[in-house]
Amino acid sequence: MQIDTLIIGAGAAGMMCAAHAGGQSGKRVVVVDHAKAPGEKIRISGGGRCNFTNMYCDPQAFISHNPHFAKSALARYTQWDFIDLIDRHGIAWHEKTLGQLFCDGSAKQIVAMLTGMMADAGVTLHLQTSVTHVAKSDRGFAVSLQTPDGALQIQARQLVLASGGKSIPKMGATGLAYDIARRFGLPVTDTRPGLVPFTFAEGRFVPLAGVAAPSRMVADGPAFDEAVLFTHRGLSGPAVLQVSSYWREGDPVTLNLDPDDTIAPALRAQRQHYGRRNLTTELATHLPSRLVEFMKDDWALTGNLADQSDTRIDALVDRIQNWQLMPSGTEGYRTAEVTLGGIDTDALSSKTMQAKDVPGLYVIGEAVDVTGWLGGYNFQWAWASGMAAARAI
Ligand code: FDA
């Protein structure tokens, strides 16, 4: 079968690209995916409500070996363009926090919008279809597929790799895009799990499992002011997921449990009036009581407020604000929301996402070495990079 464009992967980026590339002057666009349904990560994202973009989307919120690469696509298809798209499809939404936008109803509305747009554009979608062979041919790319109805040979003028990264293999994530890219000589940077909880040795935080607190966290990157959650296995919560993308094995992370600097002035003020109050009783008005109990044992906190000199208060607050923790690892691709690294941006045009040395080959979405922060940034990259390719093909 001879077609114009074959897109591998019916996820966020692949469907966005197909919906806009199809419909252009009778172009024949085919999308293949080995899953039973398209857009499975969209469906489960944001607790079923899909955090589909972020109002404050900015290139700084993306990690890549080339921090400038994402700028062009993000500028040419912005968060406001996607908001406009879902408004036109009557999908109601709200801001949860920090500019993060979610559907009021269900993430399935976004999947339905994209599949509907693909159908309107005359795109053919083959599900439960695996790619068995890809080669360059005179007319573009020769791709062998195994569909539920048997083998299918496709000749496509353009091939778009949109099969995502390695996170959550149980949901069908594979390294297919990386393998095909390598076969065509495109370099792939080291990949590792991102937006992923930390694990700690010896069940360090088991007594704290379930405790959440506001925090500021830093690894080797920007500080994030979001909640931390202690778990049976270690640490999770938005602050932890954010810094995990900047963390390297063997590095410590710094946890600040008093990001607003309120504890030291409060301890000093209360010491004047309630000197006989227990230090931990007062601390428990600022921090979760189970956390204070844990610190009492772990840090040997003793005495009344009157026993706390200014130096002792400063030392204690310094500890609360600069708690150095050494993760033993992360939960890995099993639970990571994204894959850091990927197909090297040096090999791609930032305007079109086309491989510089392989005309007709495009890479979009998570397969590219561009990873966003938590908060809708990764979908915005999928929409923007998908659109960049759609405009070019
Ligand atoms: P995506 O993974 O969406 O699609 C790839 C497609 O390729 C899949 O349909 C897959 O089945 C198919 N495929 C893979 N290998 C194949 C093969 N060998 N053969 C055929 N097909 C193959 N981001 C965000 O911005 N807001 C959020 O709320 C969330 N929430 C979230 C929750 C969870 C649990 C996860 C795991 C991830 C998120 N994310 C997120 C991240 C977001 O889901 C992710 O960045 C995008 O889905 C990436 O879009 P892509 O289209 O590149 O890949």
Distance CA 129, CA 37 (A): 11
Q: Where are the alpha helices (DSSP H) in 301-369?
A: 310-321
Phi, psi of 74 (to 5 degrees): -65, -30
pLDDT of residue 18: 98
Q: How far is the CA of 247 from the centre of ligand 1 (A)?
A: 22
pLDDT of residue 202: 79
User: Between β-strands 150-161 and 124-126, what pairing exists: parallel, antiparallel or unpaired?
Assistant: unpaired
Complex-level ipTM: 0.99
Q: How far is the CA of 42 from the centre of ligand 1 (A)?
A: 7
Nearest-atom number in ligand 1 for the CA of 46 is: 28
What count of other Cβ atoms lies within 10 Å of the Cβ of residue 87?
Answer: 11
pLDDT of residue 24: 67
Left if phi > 0, otherwise alpha if psi is -120 to 50, otherwise beta: which for 46? left
User: What residues does ligand 1 touch, defined as CB less than 6 Å away?
Assistant: 8-14, 33-35, 40-41, 44-46, 50-51, 130-131, 162-164, 167-168, 172-174, 176, 337-338, 365-367, 376-379, 382
Nearest-atom number in ligand 1 for the CA of 365 is: 52
Query: What distance lies between CA 243 and its chain's CA centroid?
Result: 12
Q: How far is the CA of 153 from the centre of ligand 1 (A)?
A: 26
pLDDT of residue 52: 98
Q: Pull the structure tokens for residue 183.
A: 């076969």
* Helix (H), strand (E) at residue 389: helix 377-392
What count of other Cβ atoms lies within 10 Å of the Cβ of residue 281?
Answer: 14
Question: What's the pTM?
Answer: 0.97
Angle made by CA atoms 306, 308, 314, in degrees to the nearest 5: 145
Q: Which of 378, 380, 381, 385 to mutate to test the pocket of ligand 1 (most atoms within 8 A of CB)?
A: 378
Length of the chain: 393
Nearest CA to ligand 1 atom 53: 164
* Helix (H), strand (E) at residue 283: helix 279-283
- Residue 275 near residue 309, CB atoms below 8 Å: no
Q: How far is the CA of 166 from the centre of ligand 1 (A)?
A: 9
Q: Where are the extended beta strands (E) located within 264-328?
A: 323-325
Tens place of pLDDT per residue across the chain (393 aa)? 999 999 999 999 999 999 999 876 789 999 999 999 999 999 999 999 999 999 999 999 999 999 999 999 999 999 999 999 999 999 999 999 999 999 999 999 999 999 999 999 999 999 999 999 999 999 899 999 999 999 999 999 999 999 999 999 999 999 999 999 999 999 999 999 999 999 998 778 999 999 999 999 999 999 999 999 999 999 999 999 999 999 999 999 999 999 999 999 999 999 999 999 999 999 999 999 999 999 999 999 999 999 999 999 999 999 999 999 999 999 999 999 999 999 999 999 999 999 999 999 999 999 999 999 999 999 999 999 999 999 999
Nearest CA to ligand 1 atom 26: 376
Q: How far is the CA of 32 from the centre of ligand 1 (A)?
A: 14
Which residues, including other chains, have CB under 8 Å from residue 307's CB and lie 6 or more apart?
279
Q: How far is the CA of 226 from the centre of ligand 1 (A)?
A: 24
